[in-house]
């Protein structure tokens, strides 16, 4: 196994005697930082975890695992390949991006209407790029970060150098539960019920992956936070989607019934956001010690930004990735939302590995942890081969229209059982 994939596999607690082979595809995901190696390692570790779980269920040897870099590169940019009836999917909103301040740069995230409104209210400016740029140029970056955060918006000061903090890639804690026995199955996660409490992009990538592997994935969203249709079209493959207000007594009973029959819960909200609903990892395990609880955060559990909301672009900016990718004094970006996608595949792999273990598990990952790994621990491997994304793109009819989308990167064949259903339109029940 190559050293980078071995690092990811070791972080997941995998057996050191297992290995993954890769079919190269040239200089894909080109960047100053070793994004190509991060991408193939995370998908490789996920593919190996899937093979391990399937073998454990069938009581057979683990077969050889091969991952194609072309499939990985295409999947890591799935939102950019998405076409809906020939129309490209949505990209960053006008008020999302890098902005000069009086002493440096800030990165804003205003893709969702409520985040845009809070950004504008915090800075008391009109919904206009010129007005926003003019106001930000008069302020210090950290002042913008804290002012916008206090108003419930999203902005971070852009770091001028890589954050030296070394964060764990994967944290795993077993729980006291009876031994889990899974029957033989045609696919690794067949029959596994996954309650998906995640939003853009890492969490949905993880649950999209579990759906491809056979899990019954039900995404649950609050009715007052609509999802972007293009984002859901990309990451909702193979899943169903329902709406529940956990503050409503009837909806809470429905949620509790779903939870009583779930095998896995994946959460992707900021730390503490679900606590008031009794859905923190600790509360979930207190009720169901046998659950696999996979907890995703932006910033991890330590540091000045721990506990805050965050997205891939903001984590890139605050950890020094934007500085490392700069070429002309302007902050740079990775060639993909690599923290999101990489963490998503690692999160899926952590769930698969937890299902191999005899007891319940609590696994925790963060975008900042993946950023730390990229900045400090990955050495690039030699570049070989050529890249053609076309074999890894397919068209699928869906309620949103005909989707051109990336294929799953775990195998050379197969796709999801069904396209994404319309957001929030499924009944809140298991199949």
The predicted structure's pLDDT at residue 179: 72
Omega into 50 within 30° of 0, i.e. cis?
A: no
CA dist 50 and 210 (Å) reads 9
Question: By the 8 A CB rule, do 115 and 95 touch?
Answer: no
Q: Is the dihedral of CA 368, 371, 376, 377 positive or negative?
A: positive
The predicted structure's pLDDT at residue 198: 96
6-18 pLDDT, tens digit per residue, is 999 999 999 999 9
Q: Does the structure show a pLDDT above 80 at 358?
A: no
Average pLDDT over residues 18-22: 95
Question: By the 8 A CB rule, do 217 and 238 touch?
Answer: yes
Q: Does the structure show a pLDDT above 80 at 176?
A: no
How does the average pLDDT of the chain come out, rounded?
95
Confidence of residue 336 (pLDDT cuts 50, 70, 90): very high
The predicted structure's pLDDT at residue 273: 80
- Rounded to a whole number, what is the largest CA-CA distance in the chain? 65
Confidence of residue 270 (pLDDT cuts 50, 70, 90): confident
| Residue keyed to tokens 């207190």 | 286
CA dist 399 and 26 (Å) reads 36
Q: Does the structure show a pLDDT above 80 at 323?
A: yes
Neighbour order of strands in the sheet with 401-406 = 87-88, 83-84, 401-406, 393-398
Q: Does the structure show a pLDDT above 90 at 278?
A: no
73-111 pLDDT, tens digit per residue, is 999 999 999 999 999 998 889 999 999 999 999 999 999
Name the nearest CA neighbour of 11 among 305, 267, 377: 377
Percent of the chain with pLDDT over 90: 87
Q: Is the dihedral of CA 212, 264, 344, 377 positive or negative?
A: negative
CA 82 to chain centre: 17
Q: Is the dihedral of CA 45, 209, 381, 389 positive or negative?
A: positive
Phi, psi of 254 (to 5 degrees): -65, -45
């Amino acid at each position: 196994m190559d050293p980078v994939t071995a690092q990811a596999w070791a972080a997941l607690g995998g057996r050191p005697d297992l290995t993954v082979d890769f079919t190269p595809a040239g200089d894909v995901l080109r960047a100053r930082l070793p994004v190509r190696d991060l991408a193939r390692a995370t998908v490789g570790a996920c593919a190996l975890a899937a093979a391990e779980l399937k073998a454990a269920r069938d009581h057979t040897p683990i077969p050889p695992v091969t991952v194609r870099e072309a499939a990985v590169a295409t999947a890591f940019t799935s939102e950019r390949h998405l076409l809906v009836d020939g129309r490209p999917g949505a990209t960053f909103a006008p008020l999302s991006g890098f902005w000069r301040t009086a002493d440096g740069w800030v990165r804003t995230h205003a893709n969702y209407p409520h985040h845009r409104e809070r950004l504008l209210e915090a800075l008391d400016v009109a919904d206009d790029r010129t007005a926003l740029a003019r106001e930000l140029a008069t302020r210090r970056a950290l002042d913008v970060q804290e002012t916008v955060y206090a108003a419930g918006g999203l902005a971070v000061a852009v770091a001028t150098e890589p954050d030296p903090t070394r964060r764990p890639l994967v944290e795993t804690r077993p729980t006291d539960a009876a031994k889990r026995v899974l029957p033989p199955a045609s696919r690794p996660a067949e029959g596994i019920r996954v309650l998906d409490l995640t939003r853009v992009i890492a969490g949905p990538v993880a649950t999209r992956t579990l759906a491809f592997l056979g899990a019954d994935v039900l995404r649950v969203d609050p009715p007052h936070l609509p999802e972007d249709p293009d984002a859901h079209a990309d990451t909702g493959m193979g899943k169903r989607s329902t709406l529940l207000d956990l503050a409503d007594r009837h909806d809470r009973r429905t949620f509790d019934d779903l939870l009583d029959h779930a095998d896995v819960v994946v959460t992707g909200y900021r730390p503490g956001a679900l606590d008031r609903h009794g859905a923190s990892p600790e509360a979930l395990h207190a009720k169901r010690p046998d659950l696999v609880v996979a907890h995703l955060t932006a910033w991890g559990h330590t540091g000045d930004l721990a506990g805050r909301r965050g997205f891939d672009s903001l984590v890139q900016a605050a950890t020094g990735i934007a500085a490392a990718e700069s070429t002309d004094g302007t902050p740079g970006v990775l060639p993909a939302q690599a923290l999101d996608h990489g963490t998503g595949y690692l999160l899926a792999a952590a769930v698969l590995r937890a299902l191999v273990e005899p007891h319940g598990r609590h696994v925790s990952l963060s975008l900042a942890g993946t950023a730390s790994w990229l900045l400090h621990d990955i050495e690039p491997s030699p570049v070989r081969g050529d890249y053609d994304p076309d074999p890894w793109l397919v068209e699928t009819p869906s309620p949103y229209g005909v989707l051109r989308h990336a294929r799953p990167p775990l195998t050379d064949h197969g796709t999801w059982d069904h396209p994404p259903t319309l957001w929030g339109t499924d009944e809140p029940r298991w199949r």
